[in-house]
Amino acid sequence: MKPATLFIHAGAHPDPSTGAIMTPIYQTSTYVQEAPGVNKGFEYARSQNPTRQALEEAFALIEKGKYGLAFSSGVAATDAVIKLLSPGDEVICGNDMYGGTYRLFTKIFEKFGIRFHYVNTQDPATIAAQCNEKTKLIWLETPTNPLMNITDITAVSAIAKAKGIWVVVDNTFASPYLQNPLELGADIVMHSATKYLGGHSDVIQGALMLNDKDLRDQLYFIQKSCGAVPGPMDCFLVMRGIKTLHVRMQRHCENGRAIAHWLRQHPKVGKVYWPGFEDHPNHSVAKAQMRDFGGMISFELKDEGIEAAMKLLSSTRLFALAESLGGVESLINHPATMTHASIPRAERIKNGLSDTLIRLSVGIEDVDDLIDDLAAAIG
């Protein structure tokens, strides 16, 4: 089944009682049983919900996996994965990553005896050198947030499998339309479904997709026991969003390409971070494992003063200054004070995230209007 068809029909089954083409919102906390232990597959809504079940089936299908699990947020999904580990275990992860993930790792899980090593994952050899007998998991973002670094998922997965290490890929920036890490050897794929999967900036949700039944059962036990599950309305909204993922991503990519090239030609713009450029580090890897290069772009002004960056951030009309990404509307973000503020400044600077870096989530508006907006703001 081709992606455009798959995204529309994934997890969708007509309601058996009414024939409704859209999965109903089962707004219930519990289910009546015919006798103790005799039920229709549903007992209590923290453990099972028909709307969530349909969405989890869709999650598996769109990532070309066997199993999907829905969580109340992307961070909750990440939290569930790290709960697979035990004190003394070690994790290798990228030195350019979402600030909320970094905060979860350093402020929550380090206290429980799990050790995290932050490395440049663009070179698989760097990851291989960091592995030891305590390494249980490699956590990747590709493209990374916000520097758009690219990691070779196939190469890292081969290294990990030889050592019995799980590979988890945060696929939020790419979406399943552009990249399918399970097919490249990853064990688990994580999404902040708040972003491209939902696509309309109206829901918070996370997702895990995988192929291994035992691993799925362990994560389901964590999901059920810890209770970070989404409500049925949220599940309905994400299912609705998935149905238009392909057409939205096509426009995100078209607009992103045009704006990336426009920014690079602007006399007041310095470095532009976008994996579609042939001279972008690991562009060849991105071209091989992605179908296109997405709508996420970061850039710096040639005037590297913070005042110039702040003026730009406050001057756009169509690009809304806000957290998050992946919605139909365009957003502009200042990572150092917003999405990545939880990372100490010294760490940000060391890893290349400057105080003047600006991140764009390019929406699906008319690209000429978006360029005019940026042009007026940059001056």
Note whether 216 and 63 are within 8 A (CB).
no
Q: Can 170 be counted among the known catalytic residues? A: yes
46 is catalytic: yes
Residue 342 has a pLDDT of 87
List the catalytic residue out of 67, 98, 118, 196.
98
Residues paired with 117 in a beta bridge: 92
pTM of full prediction above 0.85:
yes
Are the CB atoms for 26 and 41 separated by under 8 Å? no
Paired tokens of 359: 């991140």
- Rounded distance between C-alpha atoms, residue 177 and residue 7, angstroms: 9
Given the residues 52, 195, 248, 359, the one annotated as active site:
195
List Cα–Cα distances, 152 to 40, 46, 82, 139, 179, in angstroms: 44, 37, 22, 13, 12
C-alpha torsion sign, points 299, 340, 122, 287: negative
- Contact between 87 and 113 under an 8 Å Cβ cutoff? The reply is yes
* 98 in catalytic set: yes
In angstroms, rounded to a whole number, what is the distance separating the alpha carbons of residues 356 and 176?
A: 31
Encode pLDDT of 237-276 as tens digits: 999 999 999 999 999 999 999 999 999 999 999 999 999 9
Predicted pLDDT at 259: 98
Active site residue: 170, 234, 292, 373, which one? 170
Identify the structural domains of the chain with CATH numbers, from first to last.
3-242 (3.40.640.10), 246-378 (3.90.1150.10)
Reported confidence tier of residue 364, pLDDT bands at 50, 70, 90: very high
Catalytic status, residue 195: yes
